[in-house]
Amino acid sequence: MAERQEQVALDDVLTRIGQVVMLHHGGDREEARSRLLDLWGEVGEAGDPLHRCTLAHYLADTQDDPSHELAWDLRALSAAEELADGPGGFLPSLHLNLAADYVKLGRVEAARSHLRSALRAAGSLADDGYGKGVRAAIRRLELQLGE
């Protein structure tokens, strides 16, 4: 019974994150950032790695300052690496996001390093819409960096 309650609580957090993401995609970036930060406060630095990864990933998307975006994307990668099942399909996207962050900050070598990591990890992606989208974004950034 306790395991079932824990699963419901986990699902509740992911549902709440999803609701805030819809708010962000609807154009209310400030409110989304505020609500995601509230959720981050509930989950905490020691919370479930999946929750921290997901929250940090979406918090990065709501940042105005590229250095803050980088900090949240680094938190997302760190949490993904803690996942018991392994980070799996998260890594290509997380490394791609970090590469894009470093490009914005003019740190080209760091961007290239994460782009190479994204490319290596992309082999684990399925040949579905998500996988194709991530691989296409990797190729676009490779072109931008002259790779």
Could you give the angle at the alpha carbon of 136 between the alpha carbons of 92 and 28, nearest 5°?
Answer: 75
Tell me, what's the pLDDT at 89?
A: 79
Q: Do 36 and 62 form a contact (C-beta atoms < 8 A)?
A: yes
Q: Which of 86, 94, 75 is nearest to 37 (CA)?
A: 75
Under DSSP, the state recorded for 107 is: -
State which H helix or E strand residue 4 sits in: helix 2-25
Under DSSP, the state recorded for 106 is: T
Query: Position of tokens 């819809």?
Result: 22
End-to-end CA distance of the chain: 53
Q: Return mean pLDDT, the chain.
A: 91
Could you give the angle at the alpha carbon of 93 between the alpha carbons of 65 and 121, nearest 5°?
Answer: 140
Q: Do 39 and 55 form a contact (C-beta atoms < 8 A)?
A: yes
Q: pLDDT of 15-48, one tens digit each?
A: 999 999 999 999 999 999 999 999 999 999 999 9
Tell me, what's the pLDDT at 147?
A: 74
Tell me, what's the pLDDT at 36?
A: 98
Distance CA(113)–CA(70), nearest Å, equals 15
Q: pLDDT of 126-135, one tens digit each?
A: 999 999 999 9
